Chain A
Amino acid sequence: MIELRRVSFAYPQRPVLTEVSAVLAEQRIGIVGGNGSGKSTLARLINGLVRPTGGQVLVDGLDTHRDLKQVRRRVGFVFQDPDLQIVMPTVAEDLAFSLRPRKLPADQVRQRVEQTLAAYGLQEHADHPAHLLSGGQKQLLALAAVLITEPAIMVLDEPTTLLDLRNRRAVMRVVAGLPQQVVLVTHDLDVLADFDRVLVIDEGRIVADDTPGPALAAYRRLAEV
């Protein structure tokens, strides 16, 4: 469960989020908002990539300021640009890299890497340079590299924005099948139709918080003004 208690975040000259409060317990939560609305910052607060300048963010009772390391192990994060998330030269090495902080024995690492490769259809690319993968395969690898650490919650910040339609669907299929709680920031409103809850962010505040139908209607009205 994710709990935001009067959370604010500001750069020295510029407020980004202002006293946001919410308890996020549903399995599938969408976040929508315009460019610069603060939605990406909200997503980053959940795993401590951004620490609040006011208020508190709790993940299963753990504070992102105080218990950062435990929060990070619980919350996996996927970014928009697949290229920047892959940090090792080859596919298998990149998956193994995620397990480094766990300090597991080598054979366990190998076993989990193989399982993960198979689960996401990347076996044949195991030793390929990541550079040669397609955009969609890269994003699947980025997703797999997070899932290999078995986080309890997945936060995804516009994971499909840079992909074509076919790859969007491939990535969203994987996301839809995840057993984890999912928090998805997206401009792709269609995929939110079967979500449990959607938050609409505007100018650093939650302006609508509802089931997808009413929330997305509110978001569309906002865009028309």
Chain B
Amino acid sequence: MLSLYQPGTSPVHRCPAWVKLLAMLVLGTAAFFLTDLRVLGAGLAVVIGAYAVARIPIAAAWKLLRGVLVMLVIVVLAQGLLGDWPTAAQVGIRLLLVIGLANLITLTTTQTAIVDTVERIATPLRVFGVRPDRIGLLIALVFRFIPVIATEAARVREAHEARGVRPGLSYLAPLVIRTLRMADGLGEALEVRGVGEDDPPRRRGARVRG
């Protein structure tokens, strides 16, 4: 399964997902109101300590951090050049702290645990017609079909190259159409396997099959 989760049994791993998410919300918000460099630095040290406790391999932590690093450097430089350097340091440490914390949750929490928590948090959204129990199904479907569509994409590109079309973005429209066609078959398969059978009935005749 596509996941950045690093298996482990540390206290950080065992901590329930909702506690970790709540901690991030509280600490993340607090960090935006803190201006004292020493306090922010101490916070960052605590987060780094938590990585050590969770025994996260440095390579895994770096891979995630690298994704935001370029933007982080740009923001800090812009702040320093347009404003002043102490504030730039403040901004840099604050971002590292918040992002480091968020990444730690990503690295130590299974997707299933997060999805369960999200479904529970989303329960009040039922009022707006959102079906929280569908969230897990949708996520599973995406994971199931990423390799299928990746194979499809390779096929379309091959077909283009076989006909001497230069590689570029010309394969996109046919790939999109193939993906949409797949939805007919998948929709039927979901229907016969009981998805939607508990939905409130629609008006007769409101449904036109396409």
Q: CB within 8 Å of B: which residues of A?
A: 11-12, 44, 47, 49-50, 65, 68-69, 72, 76-77, 79, 81, 83-89, 93, 97-98, 100-101, 129-131, 145-146
Contact = CB atoms under 8 A, between A and B. Distances in A.
Nearest to B147: A131
Contacts, number: 58
Contacts of A93: 140
B193 A81 contact: no
Contact of A83 (B148, B194, B198, B204): B148
Interface of B: 1, 140-141, 143-144, 147-148, 182, 185-186, 188-194, 197-198, 204, 208-209
Contacts of A49: 188, 191-192
Q: Name, among B188, B192, B198, B204, the residue most crowded by chain A CB atoms within 10 Å (CB to CB).
A: B192
Contacts of B190: 87
Nearest to A94: B144
A100 B209 contact: no
Given A101-B194, A145-B193, A87 B140 contact: yes
B189 A79 contact: yes
B148 A89 contact: no
A87 B192 CA distance: 12
B199 to A, nearest CB: 11
A50 B209 contact: yes
Given A88-B144, A100-B194, A129-B147, 10 more contacts: A44-B188, A72-B192, A79-B189, A84-B186, A87-B190, A89-B1, A97-B193, A98-B193, A101-B197, A131-B147
Contacts of B141: 87
Nearest to A93: B140
